Amino acid sequence: MARSALLNVMTQAAMKAGRSLIRDFGEVQNLQVSVKGPADFVSNADHRAEEIVFKELSRVRPDWGFLMEERGEVEGKDPQHRWIVDPLDGTTNFLHGIPNFAVSIALERDGQIVAGVIFNPAQDELFVAEKGGGAYVNDRRIRVSARTRLPECLFGTGTPFLGHGDHAGYLYELRQVIAESAGIRRMGAASLDLAYVAAGRLDGFWEKSLRPWDLAAGVILVREAGGFVTDMTGGKFDHMIGDIACGNEQIHKALTGLLSEAGRKRAAARAADGPVPGS
């Protein structure tokens, strides 16, 4: 595939950071780990990878700003452009020796995501997409799944965990989707979940309250692969809010229908102060 100059820059930054992560991954037991919050860890590997991405992108576009997981927002002189970066999506996987993590870089122009790169160094898979240019993995064109029947579909999701999310509400969502689908996977790196939807490996994905760096690159991959992306009710998607549901046209519609029904059941249970499924 022919890549634009910008996409080449993003790719080089992601792969260089990925090589750093692989070196640290080989010595994961020796990493110095600090705790940011309940079950939310950050390691020296995150910071090293983020510094690499920051330097590489700043070198070629010194006036552009950043929104980064560890460093936060860095304002640039150019208000139209901003890099959105997760240097290590799947930190908990990484720290447990599970090879499902990624470097994720997106380019935001005037508030819209126009390019994205997701690199899983453990699997040596590079997912790239640019607005109007299609989506690719390792230079091979990818498309969302063509499945149209829920019983044949495999869905990805992110689950609430210690100190995060609406655990009771999520059980309603899970119950609705489990009852209609071939299965659900929770793999621990939203960027790769979205890349897998783009590649047709997962038929759909949903999660609440993701951060912009978790999903910005993945969203353009799904869209450029022919998929639909909205919030969980089928409404307008906003990467700064982070509630997402996606899939091909038919499966996306069915998934948002299931999630909306879960929301109604949750609201009714709250109103009646009824029992929570699974409790």
Answer positive or negative: Cα dihedral of 188, 191, 193, 199. Answer: negative
The distance from CA 57 to its chain's CA centroid, rounded to whole angstroms, is 21
Rounded percentage of the chain residues whose pLDDT exceeds 90: 81
Amino acid of residue 201: R
pLDDT in tens, 198-257: 999 999 999 999 999 999 999 999 999 999 999 999 999 999 999 999 999 999 999 999
pLDDT in tens, 161-188: 888 888 999 999 999 999 999 999 999 9
Check whether 214 is labelled as a binding-site residue: yes
Rounded percentage of the chain residues whose pLDDT exceeds 70: 92
Check whether 67 is labelled as a binding-site residue: no
d(CA 239, CA 244) in angstroms, rounded, equals 8
**Cα–Cα nearest to 56, from 5, 7, 118, 10:** 10
Burial of 114 (0-12, 13-18, 19+ CB in 10 A): middle
Answer positive or negative: Cα dihedral of 262, 266, 271, 274. Answer: positive
Phi/psi at 185 (5° precision): -125, 135
Question: Which domains, from first to last, does the chain contain?
Answer: 5-141 (3.30.540.10), 150-271 (3.40.190.80)
Q: How many CB atoms lie within 10 A of CB 139?
A: 10
Angle at 104 between CA 253 and CA 85, to 5 degrees: 110
State yes or no: pLDDT of 38 exceeds 50.
no
d(CA 57, CA 188) in angstroms, rounded, equals 27
106's tokens: 């997106």
pTM for this one?
0.93
Check whether 46 is labelled as a binding-site residue: no
Check whether 51 is labelled as a binding-site residue: no
Check whether 40 is labelled as a binding-site residue: no
Q: What is the CA radius of gyration of the chain?
A: 19
pLDDT for the residue 77? 96
Q: Which residues of 230-265 are buried (b: 16+ CB within 10 A; e: fewer)?
A: bbbebeebebeebbbbbbbebbbebbbebbeebbeb
Alpha helices in the chain (DSSP H): 5-25, 44-60, 91-95, 167-180, 190-198, 212-224, 249-272
Question: What secondary structure letter does DSSP report for 210?
Answer: -
pLDDT for the residue 273? 76
Helix (H, G, I), strand (E, B) or coil at 83: strand
d(CA 232, CA 236) in angstroms, rounded, equals 9
Helix (H, G, I), strand (E, B) or coil at 79: strand
